[in-house]
Chains A and B, each alone.
Chain A
Amino acid sequence: MLQTLWDSRVNCIAVILFAVGFATLLLHRNLFKKILGLNIMDTASCLLLTSLGYIEGRTAPIIVDGVTDVQRYGNPLPAGLVLTGIVVSVSVTAVMLALTVRLYERYHTLDLDEIYMLARQEEGEK
């Protein structure tokens, strides 16, 4: 088993990073850290996707000298998907950051538990 894992070590690193990012996104109470965790999670799944498209000893899928031999190039599809994934990740990050700024303006803290308590307190006073 360890041998198999060692052979596909890029995949292993990718899933470990995914789990780290996932745990940070779900459990860290600081909003900024959550956003970093989210980014790590997204890039990790992108890394897994890229490594699934990699073929040992072949070059990037850019046709050189008109040679269209399959044996020479890697898989182009995962790269295309990952490009989309990166765009999605940066868009989501921007929105989350904008939300963070607004929340900080309002409650002066980044701690989600604390913000939640403050919001409840505020509502109770109304």
Chain B
Amino acid sequence: MSFIANLPLFCIVASLVCSVISSVLNGKLARWLSMALSLAVAVCSLLVLGMVWQNGEPLTYLMGHFPHPWGNEIRLGILESFFSFVFAAVMFLCMQGAKIALTQDLEAGKRQFYFVMTDLIQAALLVLAYTNDIFTGYVFIEICTLASCGILMIRQTGRAILASVRYMIFSLIGSGLFLLGVTILYGITGHLLLPSLHEAAAELWHTGDYRIPLTSSICLITVGLAIKSGLFPFHYWMPDTYGCATPCSSAILSGLVSKGYIFFLLKVIFSGFGTEVFYGSGVQNVLFVFGICGMIFGSIGAIQENDIFRMLANSSAAQIGYVYLGIGISPEAGVIGALFHILTHAVTKPVLFLSASRLSDTAGGSKRFKDLQGSGYAFPLAGFAFSLGALSMIGIPMTMGFMSKYLLAVAGLEATFKAVPTLLALALSTILNTFYFARTIIRLYTPGTPLSSAAPWRAQASFGLSAICFSLLNLGAGISASPLIALLRHGLEFFGKVG
């Protein structure tokens, strides 16, 4: 085994150790440490991706001395390493872009705690991507929940604390259901590691034993993770939460944390239950319906808002709907669409949040649309980044948003009964998206009188770097999407294979 195979373990342990060390550093050092960590994790993940691609097959790495079904292990596959690369890179860019906002929003003596939390989120996302064990997944989901709550409430206004209470309640309901699902699954299969679960579940499905517990555990696990990632009927915490958190937290939460849960769900579906069992149980139809509802109701909610952050939050709920729509359509084309949309959203939503915060700074900190009038001129780069992100969310060609909608539509056409609802929902939600994003862009570029002049040079530089990176990624992947799609397709073939 080459040395590179050890890197994921080192990344995970380094994130945990960094989080512990950060608590005794001061705010500035902790931020440097955290950013260096994200960068290092991104580089390591790329190396792992290269190695796995060359090997041509996924690799299991023992966490201890015992192989499955006895001991913990992690699995290095294409999708795993690619997504952990994306998560780490987006995390780095978020922290880079929100440098100034973070200094303003965080209380001086507690600044380092923010970076403790981001390091823990980094560790949890890595583990959710790599792990091969459903219970390890549960533990790190909890770390992720608590740490997300930590970065939400760090602002400590009444509203932020209320929002984090609501977030916690929904998350805890989700993890309670998830734990119950895992319990039932353990009761009928006796395994917790995904490869062994895969065999056991397939066997149970063929013999027909324990059909009801198996179905209900699939339901519970799926519903638990769907609640945590904010699928339609449970998205009510989103507007509040993203609306009053510091922009960096909103960006991390919407771009990464909810995506981490969805990625873990996909992992459980593909390497745990197996697509045959999951798509035979009928749960995907529920996801499909709720995905469509989420797309439409999220967009309608976004239209009603007059606060730019709450609008983006509602739009996030709609985007989560797209992802679940893809999962609901079919295990091949649909899931590729869903994965591509995860990438789109991870690249687009953070930059929307960050540039919205810069824009609202030029308007004297107000988040209302009417105060933001003309702020696109006051900070041209933020205006440009916001507009590009918005266009990508609408699905204009040459952006990633277009490609993900295209993939979802193609996947929908392949499925017999779901073709019409998919296309209708995509069309309707595109119209709604266009309505509220175009309204915002027009507002930004209507001449008005912004309260304060341009931001200081340093603020522009740190934000500009990350905004440009995000925009380039968005355009690059939108224009030449085929290598990315090939990577996802190849990775998905790996995903179900037992290494």
Name A's B-contacting residues (CB within 8 A): 18, 21-22, 25-26, 31, 34, 38, 41-42, 45, 48-49, 52, 77-78, 81, 84-85, 88, 91-92, 95-96, 99-100, 102-103, 106-107, 112, 115-116, 119, 122-123
Contacts known (A18-B180, A45-B180, A123-B159); A92 close to B139, Cβ less than 8 A: no
User: A106 to nearest B CB, angstroms?
Assistant: 4
* New A-B contacts (11) at CB < 8 Å, excluding given A92-B168, A96-B168: A22-B173, A38-B176, A42-B179, A48-B187, A52-B186, A92-B172, A96-B165, A102-B156, A106-B158, A112-B166, A115-B162
Which A residues are CB-close (under 8 A) to B168? Answer: 92, 95-96, 99
Name B's A-contacting residues (CB within 8 A): 135, 139, 142, 145-146, 149, 153, 156, 158-159, 161-162, 164-166, 168-169, 172-173, 176-177, 179-180, 183-184, 186-187, 192
Contacts known (A99-B153, A107-B158, A119-B162); A92 close to B186, Cβ less than 8 A: no
Which B residues are CB-close (under 8 A) to A92? Answer: 142, 145-146, 168, 172
Q: By the criterion CB–CB under 8 Å, are A91 and B180 in contact? A: no
Interface of B is mostly: helix
> Considering residues B153, B159, B165, B184, which has the most beta carbons from chain A within 10 angstroms of its beta carbon?
B165
Contacts known (A48-B183, A49-B186, A88-B142); A112 close to B165, Cβ less than 8 A: yes
Q: Pick the contact of B158 from A42, A88, A103 — CB < 8 Å?
A: A103
Q: In the complex, A118 Cα to B99 Cα: how many Å?
A: 32
Q: By the criterion CB–CB under 8 Å, are A95 and B146 in contact? A: yes
Closest-by-CB residue of B relative to A44 is: B180
Q: Pick the contact of B146 from A34, A81, A91 — CB < 8 Å?
A: A91
Q: Pick the contact of A49 from B142, B161, B183 — CB < 8 Å?
A: B183
Q: In the complex, A15 Cα to B165 Cα: how many Å?
A: 26
Q: In the complex, A88 Cα to B78 Cα: how many Å?
A: 31
Contacts known (A34-B169, A103-B162, A103-B165); A45 close to B156, Cβ less than 8 A: no
Q: In the complex, A45 Cα to B180 Cα: how many Å?
A: 6
Q: In the complex, A84 Cα to B166 Cα: how many Å?
A: 24
Q: By the criterion CB–CB under 8 Å, are B165 and A31 in contact? A: yes
Q: By the criterion CB–CB under 8 Å, are A22 and B156 in contact? A: no
Q: Pick the contact of A38 from B146, B156, B172, B187 — CB < 8 Å?
A: B172
Q: In the complex, A10 Cα to B451 Cα: how many Å?
A: 66
Which B residues are CB-close (under 8 A) to A102? Answer: 156, 161
Q: In the complex, A25 Cα to B180 Cα: how many Å?
A: 15
Q: In the complex, A112 Cα to B237 Cα: how many Å?
A: 13
Q: By the criterion CB–CB under 8 Å, are A25 and B169 in contact? A: yes
Which B residues are CB-close (under 8 A) to A25? Answer: 169, 172-173, 176
Which B residues are CB-close (under 8 A) to A18? Answer: 176, 180
Q: By the criterion CB–CB under 8 Å, are B180 and A103 in contact? A: no
User: B14 to nearest A CB, angstroms?
Assistant: 23
Q: By the criterion CB–CB under 8 Å, are A42 and B176 in contact? A: yes
Which A residues are CB-close (under 8 A) to B139? Answer: 84, 88
Which B residues are CB-close (under 8 A) to A81? Answer: 135, 186, 192
Q: In the complex, A49 Cα to B180 Cα: how many Å?
A: 8
User: B172 to nearest A CB, angstroms?
Assistant: 6
Q: By the criterion CB–CB under 8 Å, are B149 and A95 in contact? A: yes
Q: In the complex, A16 Cα to B228 Cα: how many Å?
A: 23
Q: In the complex, A45 Cα to B139 Cα: how many Å?
A: 15
Q: By the criterion CB–CB under 8 Å, are B159 and A119 in contact? A: yes
Q: Pick the contact of B186 from A21, A78, A84 — CB < 8 Å?
A: A78
Q: By the criterion CB–CB under 8 Å, are B173 and A26 in contact? A: yes
Q: In the complex, A73 Cα to B315 Cα: how many Å?
A: 54
User: B176 to nearest A CB, angstroms?
Assistant: 5
Q: In the complex, A77 Cα to B71 Cα: how many Å?
A: 11
Q: By the criterion CB–CB under 8 Å, are A99 and B146 in contact? A: no
Closest-by-CB residue of A relative to B139 is: A84
User: B16 to nearest A CB, angstroms?
Assistant: 15
27 contacts between A and B (CB under 8 A): A21-B176, A34-B169, A38-B172, A41-B176, A45-B179, A48-B180, A48-B187, A49-B183, A49-B186, A81-B135, A84-B135, A84-B139, A85-B179, A91-B142, A92-B142, A92-B168, A95-B149, A99-B153, A99-B161, A102-B161, A103-B161, A103-B165, A106-B161, A107-B158, A112-B166, A119-B158, A122-B158
Q: In the complex, A45 Cα to B173 Cα: how many Å?
A: 12
Closest-by-CB residue of B relative to A38 is: B172
Which B residues are CB-close (under 8 A) to A45? Answer: 176, 179-180, 183
Q: By the criterion CB–CB under 8 Å, are B146 and A52 in contact? A: no
Which B residues are CB-close (under 8 A) to A49? Answer: 183, 186
Which B residues are CB-close (under 8 A) to A85? Answer: 179
User: A101 to nearest B CB, angstroms?
Assistant: 10
User: A55 to nearest B CB, angstroms?
Assistant: 13
Closest-by-CB residue of B relative to A42 is: B176
Closest-by-CB residue of A relative to B142 is: A88
User: A66 to nearest B CB, angstroms?
Assistant: 21
Q: In the complex, A77 Cα to B156 Cα: how many Å?
A: 41
Q: In the complex, A31 Cα to B149 Cα: how many Å?
A: 16
Q: In the complex, A116 Cα to B430 Cα: how many Å?
A: 32
User: A119 to nearest B CB, angstroms?
Assistant: 5
Q: In the complex, A4 Cα to B186 Cα: how many Å?
A: 20
Contacts known (A81-B135, A106-B158); A99 close to B165, Cβ less than 8 A: yes
Contacts known (A48-B183, A78-B186); A116 close to B176, Cβ less than 8 A: no
Closest-by-CB residue of B relative to A103 is: B161
Q: In the complex, A84 Cα to B139 Cα: how many Å?
A: 8
Q: In the complex, A22 Cα to B83 Cα: how many Å?
A: 33
